[in-house]
Chain A
Amino acid sequence: MDLPTFLIQLLNAVQYGLLLFLVASGLTLIFGIMGVINLAHGAFYMVGAYLAFALTGLTGNLLFAILLGIPLAFAFGALLEWLLYAHLYKRDHLEQVLLTYGLILIFEEGRSLLFGDDVHGVDVPALFAASIPLTDTLSYPVYRLVISAACIALAAGLFLLIRRTKLGMVIRAGSHDRDMVQALGIDIDRTYRIVFALGVALAAFGGMLAAPVSSVYPGMGNQVLIISFVVVVIGGIGSVTGALVASLVIGLADTFGKVLVPEYAGLAVYLVMAAVLLWRPEGIFRRG
């Protein structure tokens, strides 16, 4: 592999890793703060992608679809928390696994009823439809660079939210001691609802961004879910920084695995995880 090719593959890897971060960050927040293992998180990614597909058809442009889709996803998340997840906080992990597994089935079939089982494409917005020539044979689609930029902006926003705002403070405090926060007169239920809806919106946003690149297809959430689990395990539960680092590590392992050892590409990601487990069983950035 010569240097330009290596750099382009590096770009592919980072871009994949950043997209993964959008899904995994929501997952790790929900894990870390509310102690809920949410198998349906991949389904939110899928919901986002199908939202992008439906709304692009309606408005004619993916950008409008995303602007409309994010509040929709947030509201959907808040509703779901109120209806179902709020009942899960005091239950054991087993019941959480089961309920959210049931939700996956419901989301998948709901998707099948609403959209059928065909694979759909979503057009890249005309604004970003161009490609930039990188080598004599290869051009790089602008939209892929836009995805990365959007992910970086969002990651920065998330860090600011957690480190610098009052909500972030409550989130951080709440993950350590729920009862104490409540005793201080802070409405923890509301905080939980916001965090959960935020996680859903992040995953859905990831799905919307990825829709033109990955297509929109049945079962698309499952693959993302399990890789996100790996990210959370490597990064450490509840750590957004850990999720970012781990996402990039997984992006690298996956992309270079595909190119260098195609037979074992699927395994590469899990081997990285096994190595981390041996080294630090609770993730690289484990907390307290």
Chain B
Amino acid sequence: MTGAPARNLPALLQGLYEEGFTGTVRVSGAPGGTIHLRDGLIGAVETPGAPTATSVLLTPGRIDDEAWLAACAAERDVDRLGGQLVAEGLIGAAELEIVCTAAVFDAAFAMALGPPGSWTLSDPEPTLLATPGVEPRRLTEETTRRMVQLSGPWGAPGELARVRPTPVTGSGPGRWLPHRHQSVLNTVNGRRTARDIAFTLGRGLYAVMLDLTRLEALDLVRWDAGREPGARPSTAPRVLPERRSATPQPSRSGAGSGSASGFGSQSKAEPLPRRRPGGASRVGEGPAREGPAGQRPAGGSNAFAAGKDGGTGG
């Protein structure tokens, strides 16, 4: 990339858009991800935080696995796989475009849930692409809208992403629900996060989180924000208990807000650290951490959210 290093991810993508860059942007962090650009437009985003277009097509059986593999065998260039799927009549061009475009926006939202990391640019890698792709400004604006939309009593969307909702038993049996709310409700079991549900159903993470908030408003599911057992505490102890002073702290890398989605490295055997009122906390170690619920403004220093300047790129 030419010129001064971009100050954040949206600025980077805007610069690459103006250049007409074709290639790959790898973003570190939790969850982090890979952004595929074609002629400056964002054709695909892959992140561990949200299902890809491929999973959205295969998980609910929109295209069956055998037909998929046959199409992959017939068209070795994955960049052109979409055209092959349409040519074989497995899916309409418009529907494929919808699935791929939705996946780009969803993955960007998933990446925005965590703190931004650094990035590296590399050559294009073949992947299933939205054609023609999404303009970065639109992606950034929509991501910001989604972050605002999902801020609520639970705090920032990152807090909602780590809850593990449970179904409310004995709540008005027989109430009719739209099919997709019913399927989310059937998948909620107190162990799955929104991300787990999204992968199970092959649906977008943002859509699942929205549905969860609606089901919660209907008293059909509930969650204890920030207190669910087994999750990595959002504020790790800065001062270790004396008896464990020789024990290394849980690894910081790869943790962050993705921890609720199964990326956390802390063993469940360890006692949960306790926060002390006015307790010491060291400032300035590592990247900005998410505080307890509500301490961080929605859409604050998140990857992909517009209007911030805390990026650590270059």
- Say if A and B assemble together: no
**Hey, which bits of chain A sit against chain B, CB under 8 A?**
none
